[in-house]
């Protein structure tokens, strides 16, 4: 793994990733390697790493012990690692960038296909495509909501809804919070949460109350910031926007509908249904390069 390694850099609403094409599963993605690669001073810099390989190849190499539900041997599999090197089940922005990469490099033949993840297979559709940009939607599955819980950020405590989108979230609708106040919150402050409720850690979303829109196709919009487990604050979090839309709708007595979620890196549209949730937004492939031997 210390030889020359190809990579591609991409982002979805500025939640950025290093993609590592590794069809033969030759790379040993140790936490030290991943964290060095994601470091913005000594590496490429990213919120996470996406290994590109088929599910069958990862299974054969022992990276996966079993195929997750809805994933076939020949499906391309998003082997996702957080910036600290830890493994995560799912990433909504990452899967859009991953799908964009597959389509741009002719690794798929149809605009709609399945991408494997540890949270299961996800159907994606590439609606518009160029080498550098794409508009991609992904079916995120059914979310599971749990109990209300609390988290403290610095000296402030926030109440929110536990939402599982294949990974754990605490989505906090903060009554009376303005966009300007949201922007001023210090997400680098120490964070505490209920480890009994979230034994594997949690992504925490803070958001403004839902603002209704006149567009008949949309219920409303919210603005959100997120602190991701294993990363810290990111410019966007795809699964976090699904959790945010779910919590925002429930806060006004609704269980379904389409919500625009504004994040520091842009905006996505989340459509919450009874049995399925769709996340749609942009992807950008910034460029490609090669890691030099001995770079770390």
Which residues are catalytic, by number? 91, 237
Q: What is the 3-state secondary structure (H, E, C) of the chain?
A: CCCCEEEEEEEECCEEEEEEECCCCCCCCCHHHHHHHHCCCCCCCCCEEEEEEEHHHHHHCCCCCCCCCCCCCCCEEEEEEECCCCECCCCHHHHHHHHHHHHHCCCCCCCEEEEECCCCCEEEEEEEECCCEEEEEEECCCCEEEEEEEEEECCEEEEEEEEECCCEEEEEECCCCCHHHHHHCCCCCCEEECCCCCCCCCEEEEECCCEECCCCCCCEEEEEEEEECCCEEECCCHHHHHHHHHHHHHHCCCCCEEEEEEECCEEEEEEECCCCEEEEEEEEEEEEEEECCCCC
Tokens standing for residue 77 = 């599999």
What are phi and psi for residue 123, nearest 5 degrees? Answer: -80, 130
Place of tokens 């602190």: 227
Tokens standing for residue 11 = 């982002």
Tokens standing for residue 159 = 């109440």
Quote the CA–CA distance of 38 and 94 in Å, as a whole number.
Answer: 14
Give Dmax over CA atoms of the chain in angstroms: 56
């Amino acid at each position: 793994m210390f030889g020359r390694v190809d990579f591609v850099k991409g982002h979805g609403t500025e939640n950025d990733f290093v993609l590592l094409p590794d069809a033969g599963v030759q790379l040993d993605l140790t936490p030290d390697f991943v964290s060095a690669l994601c470091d913005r001073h000594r590496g490429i810099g990213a919120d996470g790493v996406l290994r590109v390989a088929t599910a069958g190849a990862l299974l054969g190499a022992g990276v996966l012990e079993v195929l997750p539900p809805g994933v076939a041997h020949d499906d391309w599999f998003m082997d996702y690692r957080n910036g600290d090197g830890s493994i995560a089940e799912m990433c909504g922005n990452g899967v859009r960038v991953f799908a964009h990469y597959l389509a741009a490099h002719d690794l798929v033949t149809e605009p709609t296909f399945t991408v494997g993840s540890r949270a299961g297979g996800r159907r994606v559709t590439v609606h518009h495509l160029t080498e550098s940009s794409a508009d991609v939607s992904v079916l995120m599955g059914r979310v599971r909501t749990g109990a209300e819980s609390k988290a403290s950020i610095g000296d402030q405590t926030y109440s929110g809804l536990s939402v599982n989108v294949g990974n754990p979230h605490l989505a906090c609708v903060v009554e009376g919070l303005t966009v300007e106040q949201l922007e001023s919150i210090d997400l680098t402050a120490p964070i505490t949460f209920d480890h009994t409720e979230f034994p594997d850690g949690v992504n925490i979303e803070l958001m403004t109350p839902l603002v209704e829109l006149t567009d008949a196709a949309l219920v409303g919009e919210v603005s959100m910031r997120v602190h991701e487990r294993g990363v810290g604050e990111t410019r966007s979090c795809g699964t976090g926007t699904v959790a945010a839309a779910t919590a925002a709708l429930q806060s006004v007595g609704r269980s379904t509908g389409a919500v625009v979620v504004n994040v520091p890196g842009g905006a996505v549209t989340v459509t919450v249904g009874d049995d399925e949730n769709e996340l749609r937004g942009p992807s950008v492939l910034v460029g490609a390069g090669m890691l030099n031997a001995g770079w770390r």
